Chains A and B, each alone.
Chain A
Amino acid sequence: MQLASLSGNLLYFSFVAYLVATLFFGGAVKGAKTQESYKNNRWRKIAISITIIGFITHLGYFITRWIASAHAPVSNMFEFITAFAMMVVGAFILLFFLYRTPSLGLFALPLAVVMIGYASMFPRELTPLIPALQTHWLTIHVITAAMGEAILAISAVAGLVFLLKNIDLTKRSKQRFWLESVMFTLILVVGFILSSSTFAIMGYEAKFTYINKNEQTAQIVYNYPPLFGMNEYESLTPDKMTPLAEMPPIVNAKTLTTFVWSVATGIVLYLLLRLILRRPIAALFQPFAKKANSEVMDEIGYRSVLIGFPVFTLGALVFAMIWAHEAWSRFWGWDPKEVWALITWLFYAAYLHLRLSRGWEGEKSAWLAVIGFIIIMFNLIAVNLIIAGLHSYA
């Protein structure tokens, strides 16, 4: 138990370290008056040092939790996403020492911060392994796959910097709209974290019984004020809010409630920011991307796909197939999670082939890298929570 709480504190420390390091990277980029100072200034050195310290404590979290639970801490959403965030930071550190661009850190670290925040919204206690997970393939497959995805994520970060730098935000255009949509999506995630932690701090709980799709009575606990009720719900906590509408049995009204609350919070947050800033959110970040060299960003984007693609293939397809053969008797079963790993792989294969044809460099390539990351996130979040789960909004 001691070890588990130490582990939690280490993760908390990393979270703060990444936040602080982001500020310093911001300083490194903003404060650079000349080319020389952009490359070599004190802010940058401090920023990367703090990042490395954060990464080491993050690794400490990972190892202590591994010892405490006696299995690799990659067995549920919280563990996987925090490990993924750790690897994103690791991949960033690797590429930073290859290319020494602070702009990359300025956008990679906030991504890690948001990911840790998002992960913390899932149950955090140590969970035992169900029989299917009791094998060393869990460690090998998940860690390799996450490493591959993390390196691919850096490609998206480089792509984002490229786009922020090169898209004219003063004029209305398709590019501006989509770039702003990416920003909006990130704010939605923040909206989820904010609303979820607010109600968690308030200790909100509403209990219901309902009839599930197998026509059996079941119980459910909401941590958000219930906007939508489950099929034929009956409240066990009448002092709490009554749902506004009842859903048919195939829709998970609790997930829907969480989703609507998060989106609503995100929209309010976005509108507030727009009101205060009086310009697109992307324009707020643009000055920080302006000093980056597009050529280098394009190269980082391509290089990280080149580095990440083989790792991803090995972890998410080859090792996955070997494990599937050991545990489920078939190496491939068209399970949605498998299919989406294949889709991710096909997507990056297409990216690599497109780089062969002229014109698919720079902006187009940057868009592809961002889309690739969206596919990875879709597989992580939507496939786990929606498709494989209850097909809530399908």
Chain B
Amino acid sequence: MSKIKCQCGHENPFGTVLCEQCGRPQTDEARESKLIDMRYEGSARRSQTYKRSIVDKIWNFFSSVKVGINIIIAVLVTSAIGTIFPQKLFVPATTEADIFAYYEKHYGFAGTLYYKLGFYDMYNSWWFIILIGMLGTSIIIASVDRVIPLYKSLKKQRTKRHTSFLKKQRIYAEGVVADSNSSFDKAEEKLKELRYNVKIEEGALLAEKGRFSRWGPYVNHTGLIIFLFAVLLRTLPGFYVDETVWLREGETRAIPGAPGYYLKNNDFIIETYSKEEDAAFGQAIDRVGTIVKNFQSDVTLFKDPEGGLPGQSEQMEFVKDYSITVNNPLNFDGFNVYQMDYRLNELKSMTFQLMEKTTDKSFGEFTVDLLNPERLYELNEGAIVELLEFYPDFDGVEDGEPVTKSPIPNNPAFIFNMVTTAKPEGEKSFVAIRQTLETNVNDYEVKFVSAETRDITGLVVRKDKTLYLLLLGGIIFMIGVAQGSYWNHRRIWIQKGDGNELVLAGHTNKNWFSLKKELDKVKLYADLPQYEDRQETKFDDDGKKGDKS
């Protein structure tokens, strides 16, 4: 494509609206309009210039701010729909059938529809992920399409602009002053005092400040892209560990996802607020009942010794003791271990005694460890109790056989064989909580004495290699958004005309109010012609004009 040669002699890239150097309008539309469109300095943007090939069309689609806004709105609406009913991950069900049943039961027809449309797992759905992908594409293309030409034309702008450029600015003044040279010099002085960068060329002045705020949007978009890229990385294996581990008090286990490391739960603690110690909260405690003060797991971290064989627990090396609480995870080697859940009073062991029914004579007590039960228990006078079968989570009898629901001792049941000198073959007995069953009438029985319980802590193990990248994206975004929001790019042009005539124009990318305040100061000091804001009466016609403060 050919270049556009401006009257001032500068060659502009094809598609330029305002000459990069002198600002003369290059298109008929710009020449005819009363105010020129200063967005992106009237530079040649790819999307506005090339519209033929398929690549151009894709580029133009994603570079459009309107398309970008529509994508934002689409993400917004889908996100909102996702909060109408709880998402799948908050539903206490695991199989698809159970999940469906949950929505149907709790939310009726609307719930069924919600499930069928896939809204119950909105944020992992293909269309949501595609939307986010489109958003990312739009951010990249729209930024590149604008930032390069904007950078070039701000870099190439000349101090002296053509009058047709100044005349079409929103803030404009022309007029004869008492002494244009003195006004010009005083304006320079005052503008410098207001921290403008002032450049002078052939009786023309350009005062500029805050140009770097123009890069704010592109900086924050870069931050967003880094953030989205980090989120994308998390889907790759190895970047991300997320495991749950349940640890009983006194138990040591290998930490899932962190090979070579072991964790021992020394103690799990729950504390609640008490009216005595926390008197200020007395009223609240009365109203609510119990309020938890602390969930805490006191743990010890071990690891395999250097060069040792993994899994040989006797040789574990002590690393550290730590108290994990809700806001204080345990940190080691890039891993974090969080306090997430707990179960109180799980049965640990049960103590029984062997008795002769008729005489109530005891042969002594024995204790069954409910996680690793021993098979034989030797008692007084040569009596032996043999544990034949153990059902940790007894759930009734199926096909004549007792069954267990899980390996967790929620409802333990036992089949014992009681061997005594009087009955050397032994007597069998089925013992569960509050029941004893015998096939034949026995002479002896195993009687429950006591049970010991302990707490279990639920910990989550996480490692996330993308965290620093996410944080970097966030920081860059914040820098960019502050840069673009809290600074303004202001430019003031003053040019000498014939005799004592002065021409003045001003432009800012936003916050016109402050630009005008600064201009007022310069005008007062340097005796400049009164400027006019050609958009001030944009909303109010003269009949209902309000304060001009």
Which A residues fall within an 8 A CB radius of B?
1, 4, 35, 38-39, 68-70, 98-101, 123, 125-128, 130-132, 134-135, 137, 162, 165-166, 213, 250, 290-296, 298-299, 302-303, 306-307, 309-310, 313-314, 318, 321, 325-331, 334, 336, 339-340, 342-343, 346-347, 349-350, 353-354, 356-357, 361-363, 383, 387, 391, 394
**B327/A391 in contact, CB under 8 A:** no
Check A100–B540 contact: CB distance below 8 A: no
Q: Please give me the residue from chain A that is nearest to B517 by CB atom.
A: A98
CB of B123 within 8 A of chain A? yes
What 7 pairs between A and B have smallest CB-CB spacing?
Answer: A293-B546, A294-B539, A125-B283, A131-B326, A135-B327, A329-B338, A127-B284
Q: Which of A38, A131, A328, A330 touches B294 (beta carbons < 8 Å)?
A: A131
Q: Do residues B82 and A339 form an inter-chain contact, with CB atoms below 8 A?
A: yes
Question: How many inter-chain residue pairs (CB < 8 Å) link A and B?
Answer: 186
Query: Quick check: B281 and A126 within 8 Å, CB to CB?
Result: yes
B314 to chain A, nearest CB (A): 31
1/0 per residue, CB under 8 A from A, across B324-359: the answer is 011101000000101010000000000000000000
Q: Would B76 and A362 count as touching, CB distance under 8 A?
A: no
B478 touches A313 (CB 8 A): yes
Of A123, A321, A334, A346, the residue contacting B72 (CB under 8 A) is A346
Most chain A beta carbons < 10 A, residue from B284, B294, B482: B284
Check A306–B284 contact: CB distance below 8 A: no
Tell me whether B474 is interfacial, beta carbon within 8 Å. yes
The residue on A at minimum CB distance from B68 is: A353
A250 in contact with B294 given A39-B547, A125-B284 (CB within 8 Å): no
Interface size on B, residues (CB 8 A): 71
Whether the Cβ atoms of B549 and A99 lie closer than 8 Å is yes
A131 close to B478 (CB less than 8 A): no
Nearest-Cβ distance from residue B473 to partner chain A, whole angstroms: 10
Min CB distance, A331 to chain B, in Å? Answer: 7
Instruction: Give me 12 other A-B pairs in contact (C-beta within 8 A), A314-B478, A353-B69, A362-B539 excluded.
Output: A70-B280, A123-B284, A128-B284, A131-B292, A162-B539, A306-B486, A328-B338, A329-B242, A331-B470, A339-B79, A339-B80, A350-B73
Interface residue? B544 (CB, 8 A): yes
> Are B329 and A326 in contact (CB-based, < 8 A)?
yes
Question: How long is the Cα–Cα vector from A295 to B80 in the complex, in angstroms?
Answer: 33
Name B251-308 residues within 8 Å CB distance of A. Answer: 273, 278-281, 283-285, 287-288, 291-295
Q: Identify the B interface with A (CB < 8 A).
A: 39, 65-66, 68-69, 72-73, 75-76, 79-80, 82-87, 89, 106-107, 123, 242, 273, 278-281, 283-285, 287-288, 291-295, 325-327, 329, 336, 338, 340, 460, 462, 467, 470, 474, 477-478, 481-482, 485-486, 510-513, 535-540, 544-549
> Which residues of B lie under 8 Å from residue A39 when comparing CB positions?
547, 549
Interface contact B538-A295, CB-CB below 8 Å: yes
Residues of A within 8 A of B285 (CB): 128
Question: Interface of chain A, helix or strand or loop or mixed?
Answer: helix
* Complex Cα–Cα for A310 and B327 (A): 26
A326 to chain B, nearest CB (A): 6
B123: A residues at CB distance < 8 A: 334
A99, B513: Cβ atoms under 8 Å?
Answer: yes
8 contacts between A and B (CB under 8 A): A126-B280, A128-B285, A134-B326, A298-B539, A321-B470, A328-B338, A329-B338, A346-B72
Kindly list chain A residues whose C-beta atoms are within 8 Å of the C-beta of B477: 313
> Which of B76, B281, B477 has the most chain A CB atoms inside 10 A of its CB?
B76
With A295-B539, A354-B69, A394-B107 known as contacts, the answer to whether A130 contacts B547 (CB < 8 A) is no
In the complex, A321 Cα to B326 Cα: how many Å? 16
Instruction: Note all chain A residues with C-beta closer than 8 A to B327.
Output: 131-132, 134-135, 137, 326-327
Chain A neighbourhood of B474, CB < 8 A: 318, 321
Partner of B538, one of A69, A290, A328, A361: A361
**Smallest Cβ distance from A349 to chain B, in angstroms?**
6
Residue of B nearest to A382 (CB): B83
Nearest-Cβ distance from residue B535 to partner chain A, whole angstroms: 8
Residues of A within 8 A of B242 (CB): 329
